[in-house]
Amino acid sequence: MSKKVSVSFFTSKNIEDDLMNLCATSTDYIHVDVGDGKFIERKFNPVKELKELQGALTKRLDVHFMVEDPQKYIEEYSELDCEYITIHCEIKKDILNLLNLIKSYGIKCGLAISPDTDLCFLEPFLDDIDTILVMSVVPGKGGQSFIYNTIERIKKVRKLIGKRNIVINVDGGINSETAKLVDSDIVVSGSFVLNSDDWEKNINAVR
């Protein structure tokens, strides 16, 4: 079964043009990375560009907060057309309250987990989330190579989920080869699509 694709523009040099061009492709979602300069080194918050293009964007957003304190970001992004808002399970905040805040806006909520974090951190929240974003690179830098033990981690996540209706998403180093190796429902691809001459071809190559 083919995967859904969420294209990240984290490495974009021209955000507004790239967002509009992505809407002309068959990507299922636009993946929005947000960084606060603390949880990850880079500060990146394209909410202004997304709000300016709000009426023109035809793709729903798959939002990934790489931030220590997501509350104000959740409130900002709740006004956009978000399918998912995902926060990191490593933050030292009341995760359940934040998940409930996301849901209060009618948006599906998720937890992201970094490569070095034990999967047991997901377990208390499995009945409260719609998606799990398994990071296959260290969060915060585009263009990194895929970490191969992610393949096993995703298998373990499937077992943890059991019969729950939770979508598995994987993010980092996804290209036509690595996409075939992961048993996920969605793949996030950034550089592989944006740095190519044929976005549509590369989107289809990771399905």
Residues noted as catalytic: 33, 171
E strands of the chain, at which residues? 4-8, 29-36, 43-44, 60-66, 82-88, 108-113, 131-135, 167-171, 186-189
CA 160 distance to own-chain centroid = 20
One DSSP character per residue, 115-174 reads TTS-GGGGGGGTTT-SEEEEESS-TT-TTPPPPTTHHHHHHHHHHHHTTS--EEEEESS-
| Main-chain phi, psi angles of 199, to 5 degrees | -60, -45
